[in-house]
Structure formats: structure tokens, C-alpha cells
């Protein structure tokens, strides 16, 4: 193996999770120990990526993954954010330096093993020490609020169903749902394969037929809402079937790009630690995303009924955590169970590596 250290690090780092498997990063390799991460923001407004926050979370997760992968090379990682351009953080300079005191972090093994499990999980409870390990992984600026008992999981399930109903009804979410699913697929390089979604084969067929046009979605919503909700009930069963829902709260409401990057690092450490404990996770990010739209007064849809629904969901979230909903930075369902049989893959490294973009200079 005569790959350079950065290539080995990037081959692991590419397994970082990103919203809808968008992989919003491109790598410019300077030499064996230096790279630039270029952030790829969505070209169009994505309803699930309010102010690019999901993109920045994924970038944070990437930085943590690279930092862990670097330990396997006996390296420390040094990070420098470039100055914002066009109001955005566009690039991050990364340098690795050899350090004989560095020990390989055991979480490195979990990087390729971590994956989303959207199917029902065991209802076995997490032990106190497992929850403690996850809290420790989150770090001192975050508190994990657990929803574990049956009544608590029912409460979370109702909240999830409410947000699912919103997202299936608003036209703004339709292009995302239509474009991110790869149909009849067990694996996908740059999207989510349908087999990795929650519904079974029959419901997937219905979903595919419905999603083929917005008119069909509207028809179903308007005239046979009940049929739509039957498939939603399955979502409900999945939401209930887990050991716990975790809500990660930050000590302060996040405001800056750096705050969201920091959240991404904490989330990835928690997720990898969960994997180490043989726990699977399904993120449930629609809950905090819709809540944040409401608190920022951003009308994310033209449908006023659905804006009201979102306001009601935000209120319920507030009652669950009994504090400002803006502090909720991550929500996910956790549980023991079988590994997913289908999963999102990643673009090959050759596609993620770019030559130097015009007009940008490295340090
Ligand atoms: C910021 C962020 C938000 C996400 N939100 C959701 C979500 O709401 N529901 C879900 O099922 N998966 C969610 N995911 C998981 C991604 O879809 C998943 O990481 C990606 O498709 C790659 O698949 P893998 O994690 O199994 O490797 C999210 C991931 C990130 C990083």
C-alpha cells in the first residue's frame, strides 16, 4: 500500500453522514499532509437545510471524522477556517502533523460501520452506563434528553407523525423527496436507496407511484388522506420501536457557522460511540428543523395550515424539553437490532477530489 496519509484519511472520512447523503464536501490535495475542504452548498433552497445549517452540521461531522482518522496515521490535525466569502464559509485548510504521542482512537473502527437504520429496532432499554458514555461523547456543552418509557416514546411518535404529515403535504418538500431517493436500489452512491427507507416493498411501490408527480401527491392528500395516513401509521410503529429517542440540547442557542460545525462534531462523536455500543440510529431532524423555522419566523411553506401545524409541533417539542426549542440541535431514535441490509454508499474518492478552484489560495 503506497497511498499517502491524506488519501487514507479521506477514504475513511468520506463515510461521514450528511443530510440526504449529499456529501457537501470536495477535497483539494496540496501534498501528503495538507488538504483544503471546499464546502458545497445546495444550489437551490432545500426545505430541510434552513440557512445551510444541515450542510454545516455535516462539515462538522467530517472534521471530527478526519481528526479521528488522522490518529490512525499517528497525526494531529490542525484546522483553519478561511475567511467568509459571499457571506459564507467556503473552505477550510487542514494540515496533519506527525506526533509520536498520538494513540489510535478506537472510534476509527466505527467510521465505516456507522449507518442509519430506518427499520424498527429492539425496545430494549439502554443501560445507565451506555447513556453516560453517549453523554460523555457529546461533551460538556451538550445535554442529552432521553425519551425512553412507553408514554415518552408515544409522545415522540405523535410528534414525528405530525412533522411527517407536514412534510408530505407541503409542495416545498416534494422536489427533495423526488430527487434524493434512488428507486429499486439497495445501495446508492449519491442518494438514499429506497431499500434503506422505512416502508416495506408494497409501501415503497405506493410511495414511488405517488411521488412521480406533485398532482398525485395533492390528489392523495386531498381525497384519500386516509390511505396516505395508513402508510404513515407504519412510520409510527417504527418511531415507537426503539430503545429511546435522544434530543441533544446545546447550552446556548447556536447562531454562527462555527456553532453548527461544532454541533456536527458532537453529533458524529455520539453517533460513532453509539455504533461502538452496537446501537443503531435514525436521525429525526425534521422536528428541530421545522421548530427553528417557526422561531425564526421563516414561512417555509405557502400552506398556512401547515405553518400552523409546525407551530403546534414546536409547542409540543417545547413542552417535552421544558426549555427553548432553539437549543435542540439533534433528535434521533436509538436502539439495538440488526444492521441495515441496504445503505447509502459514497461517491468514489476520485469524484470528491478536485483541482484548485479558480480564485482561491491556500495558506
Ligand atoms: C445533518 C443531518 C441530518 C439528517 N437528517 C436525517 C433525517 O431527518 N432522517 C433520516 O432518516 N436521516 C437523516 N440523516 C441521515 C442521512 O440521510 C444519512 O447520513 C446519509 O443518507 C448517509 O447514509 P449513512 O449515514 O447510512 O451512511 C441526516 C444526516 C445528517 C448529517
Tens digits of residue pLDDT in 311-320 = 999 999 999 9
Q: Would you kindly state where each structural domain of the chain is located, as residue ranges?
A: 5-113, 128-343
The CA-based dihedral angle spanning residues 143, 147, 148, 149, taken in that order and rounded to the nearest 10 degrees: 140
For residue 293, the CA-to-ligand 1 centroid distance in Å is 19
Quick one: which atom of ligand 1 is closest to the CA of 118?
Answer: 11
Same fold, 5-113 and 128-343: yes
Residue with cell 498520538: 102
pLDDT of residue 230: 55
For residue 179, the CA-to-ligand 1 centroid distance in Å is 15
Residue with cell 477550510: 92
Mean pLDDT of the chain: 91
pLDDT of residue 278: 98
Would you tell me which CATH number, out of the four given (2.60.40.1180, 1.10.150.120, 3.40.109.10, 3.30.465.10), belongs to the domain 5-113? Answer: 3.40.109.10
For ligand 1, mutation pick of 20, 22, 64, 268 (most atoms within 8 Å of CB) = 20
Identify the residue with better confidence: 100 or 229. Answer: 100
Tell me which residue has its CA closest to atom 2 in ligand 1: 19
Quick one: three-class SS letters along 272-328? HHHHHCCCEEEECCHHHHHHHHHHCCCCCCCCHHHHHHHHHHHHHHHHHHCCCHHHE
Checking if the pLDDT of 224 tops 60, the result is no
Number of neighbours of residue 185 by Cβ within 10 angstroms: 17
User: 316: which residues sit within 8 A by CB, 6+ positions away?
Assistant: 155, 158, 159, 162
pLDDT of residue 53: 94
pLDDT of residue 50: 85
CATH fold of 128-343 reads: NADH Oxidase (3.40.109)
Tell me which residue has its CA closest to atom 28 in ligand 1: 19
What CA–CA distance (Å, rounded) separates 69 from 75? 9
pLDDT of residue 222: 65
The residue-averaged pLDDT of 218-245 equals 74
Question: Grid coordinates standing for 348?
Answer: 468514489
Checking if the pLDDT of 1 tops 80, the result is no
The residue-averaged pLDDT of 8-15 equals 98
Tell me which residue has its CA closest to atom 24 in ligand 1: 115
Quick one: which atom of ligand 1 is closest to the CA of 15?
Answer: 27
Whether 285 is in the pocket of ligand 1, judged by its Cβ within 6 Å, is yes
Cβ atoms of residues 36 and 28 within 8 Å: yes
Q: How many CA atoms lie within 13 A of 339 on its CB side?
A: 11
What CA–CA distance (Å, rounded) separates 294 from 361? 39
* 182, containing H or E segment: strand 181-182
For residue 220, the CA-to-ligand 1 centroid distance in Å is 27
What is the widest separation between alpha-carbon atoms in the chain? 67
| High-pLDDT (> 90) share of the chain, % | 75
Predicted TM-score of the model (pTM): 0.94
For residue 117, the CA-to-ligand 1 centroid distance in Å is 10
Amino acid at each position: 500500500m503506497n497511498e499517502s496519509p491524506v488519501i487514507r484519511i479521506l477514504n475513511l472520512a468520506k463515510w461521514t453522514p450528511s443530510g440526504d447523503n449529499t456529501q457537501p464536501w470536495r477535497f483539494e490535495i496540496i501534498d501528503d499532509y495538507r488538504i483544503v475542504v471546499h464546502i458545497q452548498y445546495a444550489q437551490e433552497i432545500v426545505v430541510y437545510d434552513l440557512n445551510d445549517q444541515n450542510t454545516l452540521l455535516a462539515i462538522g461531522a467530517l472534521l471530527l471524522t478526519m481528526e479521528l482518522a488522522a490518529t490512525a496515521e499517528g497525526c494531529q490535525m490542525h484546522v483553519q477556517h478561511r475567511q467568509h466569502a459571499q457571506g459564507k464559509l467556503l473552505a477550510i485548510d487542514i494540515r496533519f502533523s506527525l506526533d509520536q504521542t498520538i494513540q489510535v482512537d478506537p472510534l476509527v473502527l466505527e467510521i465505516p460501520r456507522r449507518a442509519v437504520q430506518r427499520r424498527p429496532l429492539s425496545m430494549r432499554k439502554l443501560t445507565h452506563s451506555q447513556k453516560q458514555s453517549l453523554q460523555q461523547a457529546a461533551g460538556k456543552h451538550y445535554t442529552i434528553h432521553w425519551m425512553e418509557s412507553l408514554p415518552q416514546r408515544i409522545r415522540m411518535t405523535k410528534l414525528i407523525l405530525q412533522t411527517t404529515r407536514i412534510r408530505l403535504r407541503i409542495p416545498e418538500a416534494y422536489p427533495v423527496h423526488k430527487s434524493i431517493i434512488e428507486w429499486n436500489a439497495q445501495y446508492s452512491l449519491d442518494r438514499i436507496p429506497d431499500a434503506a427507507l422505512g416502508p416495506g416493498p408494497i409501501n415503497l411501490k405506493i410511495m414511488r407511484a405517488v411521488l412521480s408527480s406533485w398532482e398525485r401527491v395533492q390528489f392523495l392528500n386531498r381525497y384519500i388522506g386516509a390511505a396516505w395516513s395508513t402508510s404513515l401509521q407504519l412510520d409510527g410503529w417504527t418511531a415507537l420501536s426503539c430503545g429511546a429517542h435522544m434530543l441533544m440540547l446545546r447550552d446556548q442557542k447556536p447562531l454562527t457557522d462555527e456553532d453548527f460545525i461544532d454541533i456536527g462534531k458532537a453529533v458524529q462523536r455520539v453517533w460513532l460511540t453509539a455504533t461502538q455500543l452496537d446501537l443503531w440510529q435514525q436521525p429525526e431532524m425534521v422536528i428541530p428543523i421545522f421548530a427553528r423555522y417557526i422561531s425564526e419566523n421563516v414561512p417555509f411553506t405557502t400552506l398556512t395550515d401547515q405553518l400552523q401545524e409546525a407551530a403546534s409541533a414546536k409547542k409540543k417539542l417545547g413542552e417535552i424539553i421544558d426549555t427553548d426549542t432553539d437549543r435542540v440541535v439533534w433528535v434521533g431514535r436509538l436502539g439495538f437490532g440488526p444492521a441495515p441490509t441496504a445503505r447509502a454508499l459514497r461517491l468514489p474518492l476520485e469524484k470528491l477530489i478536485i483541482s484548485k478552484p479558480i480564485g482561491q489560495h491556500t495558506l
